Structure 1
Amino acid sequence: MPEGDNVYQAATAMHAALAGKRLAASDFRVPSFATLDLAGWTVIEVLSRGKHLLHRLAPPGSGAQQEHDDAGRLSIHSHLSMEGSWQVYAAGQRWRKPGHTARVALTAEDGTSAVGFSLGVLEVIPTAQEGSAVGHLGPDLLGPDWDAARAEANVRRQPERAVGLALLDQRNLAGIGNIYRCEVCFLGRVHPATPVGRVPDLPGIIATAKRLLEANKSRPRNTVGGFGPRNSTWVYGRAGQPCLRCRTRIEHSTLAEPTPGTGTHIGETRERDIWFCPSCQPLR
């Protein structure tokens, strides 16, 4: 399940492989951009924004070294959603995923390529208009705009909302997915259904989320600090197994809230899976 650390790793790998290189070919396999040809464009940088990815490109002959001039530049905006991924390949290397799941392939002149598979969102927009795609996001836990105080203020705006839902809302803070949501609630000894206004140490939970994502952004994810050779999470996905703290059996449930859609979606709800220890995380 891609979360902020996975997206950061993908951006880092693609930036290392493509930044400063001209594209020999682009292949968009979505109707809206099927005829778009970015051959000759130069990849300026690849970066993450929460769970979103941005490939920034300069047009042919534009002087790619002018880092802060967005005029005429384009950004490939993508979101991995639940099953998406980006992979980097050396020249001539076979893809590790089925070709029919590829949504875009970018190939540099040296043969290096980056391929996006099963992407939930894929669009090409002017770089100057990136705000339309990611401007709604709160402070990025792994980004230069991180601001713990602003993230806390965003979460506190809805004191009756379950903290487990508020932490997943990317408008509050960007990068936390369901795994980290469950793990930081456990580490903070807070049930995910606890209203935000009743959380004893909200700054501590946010700080823990920041610490975990920073620790895992350059390695395979592990939230328990190496506790046991087979344990990489405290509670996530461990229903029925003993708590690593108190040996009480971990429980699984769901949190539900209205879908923020319109039209036919009004009144619908969506459920989010949660895992927790009923002893370490009593519901307040």
Structure 2
Amino acid sequence: MPEGPSLVILRELAEPFAGKTIAHASGNSKTIHLDELDGQPLLGVASWGKHFLLRLADRSLRIHFLLFGSYRINERKDAIPRLQLTFDDGDELNFYACSVKEIGEDLDAEYDWRGDVMNDAWDAALARKKLRAQPGMLVCDALLEQDIFAGVGNIIKNEVLFRIRVHPLSTIGALPAPKLRALVEEARQYSFDFLKWKKEFTLKAHWLAHAKKTCPRCHVPLHKAYLGKTQRRSFFCPLCQKQYGGNDGLSSPDNTHHEETA
């Protein structure tokens, strides 16, 4: 599933389409009125978290890439697109295996930009307030909560927790204030590092914990476990990532499945 920085890249690539007119819309989407898109000007593009947004005159289109979605700009895959937009100059935007939904044209009414870790309007104090309101939440779940950290995905989650030396089964309410602040600050900082490395095609080379086998600090095997309510993969060091609150060891109230090493 693409994380927020990847949606920023798509947004930047699609920005030159703003001002063009949709000549024809097609695809196998059953959730939007394709025939009503023909002749509409594309007023702008935006991203919020993991959502890519196309703003038209009377509506906006929200595209979520789910687990296996993809896009092509001015080229096509050997597959039927969920949505294909052909513009008046012949340029194309093609979206595959994704969710497409019509929403209101006023994106400011649809989204709170303060919750997007990549947005200029990001509000760290608001994120801390939302976290403090859920003291029993596991940090591995909190970082994936899109209402708090829109755009953060599993890679960012694992790398942030490794950076700040916090065990994924720690609870929000048990975190010391400096660790809570670090959690929020690093969620944003790592997202921008992710963006930089993604553009350089060096992202994986910078991973310290995600999908790794050995802790680069302690030189011991990393643990891999499917943790929290989402059961997403967590990679963490049993020595340098401290658990604050929660249950001891790798057990959790969410029937967590775990493996001892990566």
TM-score by length of 1: 0.78
Structure 2 counterpart SS, 1:33:
coil
- The residue number in structure 2 matching 1:149 is 125
Tell me: CA distance 1:213–1:75, structure 2 relative to 1, closer, same or farther (3 Å): same
Tell me: CA distance 1:35–1:208, structure 2 relative to 1, closer, same or farther (3 Å): closer
Tell me: CA distance 1:218–1:116, structure 2 relative to 1, closer, same or farther (3 Å): farther
Gaps of 5+ in 1: 59-72, 258-269
- The residue number in structure 2 matching 1:184 is 160
- The residue number in structure 2 matching 1:245 is 217
- How far 1:26 sits from its partner (Å)? 0.9
Amino acid of the structure 2 residue aligned with 1:213 = S
Amino acid of the structure 2 residue aligned with 1:111 = G
Tell me: CA distance 1:230–1:5, structure 2 relative to 1, closer, same or farther (3 Å): closer
- How far 1:163 sits from its partner (Å)? 0.9
- The residue number in structure 2 matching 1:213 is 191
Q: Is the 8 A contact 1:159 1:195 kept in 2?
A: yes
- How far 1:143 sits from its partner (Å)? 1.4
Structure 1 segment 257-276 matched on structure 2, within 5 A: 257=229, 270-276=230-236
Q: For 2:189 and 2:228, locate their aligned partners in 1 and report how far apart those are by CA, in whole Å.
A: 27
Structure 1 segment 100-115 matched on structure 2, within 5 A: 100=80, 102-115=81-94
Measured against aligned partners, the alpha-carbon deviations of 1:112-133 in whole angstroms (never above 9, x if no partner) come to 11111110x211233137745x
Q: For 2:195 and 2:142, locate their aligned partners in 1 and report how far apart those are by CA, in whole Å.
A: 22
Q: Is the 8 A contact 1:155 1:167 kept in 2?
A: no
Matched, 1:76 2:61: yes
Structure 2 counterpart SS, 1:180:
helix
Structure 1 segment 1-284 matched on structure 2, within 5 A: 1-16=1-16, 18-33=17-32, 35-58=34-57, 73-89=58-74, 93=75, 95=76, 97-100=77-80, 102-119=81-98, 121-128=99-106, 131=109, 134=111, 139-200=115-176, 201-220=179-198, 231-238=205-212, 241-257=213-229, 270-284=230-244
Structure 1 counterpart SS, 2:211:
coil
Identity of aligned residues (%): 29
Gaps of 5+ in 2: 245-262
Q: For 2:130 and 2:88, locate their aligned partners in 1 and report how far apart those are by CA, in whole Å.
A: 44
What RMSD over aligned residues (CA atoms) do the two structures have, in Å?
2.2
Amino acid of the structure 1 residue aligned with 2:88 = E
Count of aligned positions: 241
Tell me: CA distance 1:98–1:280, structure 2 relative to 1, closer, same or farther (3 Å): farther
- How far 1:11 sits from its partner (Å)? 1.4
Q: For 1:244 and 1:112, locate their aligned partners in 2 and report how far apart those are by CA, in whole Å.
A: 46
Q: For 1:255 and 1:230, locate their aligned partners in 2 and report how far apart those are by CA, in whole Å.
A: 22
Amino acid of the structure 2 residue aligned with 1:207 = E
- How far 1:248 sits from its partner (Å)? 1.1
Q: For 2:189 and 2:174, locate their aligned partners in 1 and report how far apart those are by CA, in whole Å.
A: 23
Measured against aligned partners, the alpha-carbon deviations of 1:131-177 in whole angstroms (never above 9, x if no partner) come to 45x46x86111113210000111112111211110111111221111
Structure 1 counterpart SS, 2:186:
helix
Q: For 1:5 and 1:36, locate their aligned partners in 2 and report how far apart those are by CA, in whole Å.
A: 32
Q: For 2:68 and 2:204, locate their aligned partners in 1 and report how far apart those are by CA, in whole Å.
A: 24
Q: For 1:47 and 1:143, locate their aligned partners in 2 and report how far apart those are by CA, in whole Å.
A: 10
